[in-house]
Amino acid sequence: KNQVEQSPQSLIILEGKNCTLQCNYTVSPFSNLRWYKQDTGRGPVSLTIMTFSENTKSNGRYTATLDADTKQSSLHITASQLSDSASYICVVTPYSGGGADGLTFGKGTHLIIQP
């Protein structure tokens, strides 16, 4: 069964500090991996999309890395801001050419930035 496990479940850091969120998946074969940011009570917003051939992708202060061999991805946030407080969800697409029914969502990491 395809699974996506995220860690930690929750994280509290001080404003200005860096942090790294982890995503491990068992989806195989694999097409792409996405990171989304979801503010409380709102819909997820795409941060990065990486194919199996990409190792890293940045979006401002967000940098995602991917190791397709170990089936691990990380999302690194640099110089955190209060607005970074949100849930971060990892989503993996299998290489099936299918639709959204193939997407496997993680449960997310709940990040709180304290002033």
Write out the residues near other proteins by the rule CB under 8 A.
4, 31, 34, 36, 41-46, 49, 89, 93, 97-103, 105-108, 110
Query: Beta 30-38 vs 56-59: how paired, if at all?
Result: unpaired
Coil, strand, or helix at residue 102?
helix
Nearer to other proteins, 4 or 77 (CB): 4
Kind and range of the H or E run holding 23: strand 19-25
- Quote the least distance from Cβ 8 to other proteins, whole Å: 14
- Quote the least distance from Cβ 3 to other proteins, whole Å: 11
Nearer to other proteins, 26 or 78 (CB): 26
- Quote the least distance from Cβ 16 to other proteins, whole Å: 27
- Quote the least distance from Cβ 22 to other proteins, whole Å: 15
Nearer to other proteins, 8 or 16 (CB): 8
Coil, strand, or helix at residue 98?
coil
- What DSSP string describes 51-92? ETT--EEEETTEEEEEETTTTEEEEEE-S--GGG-EEEEEEE
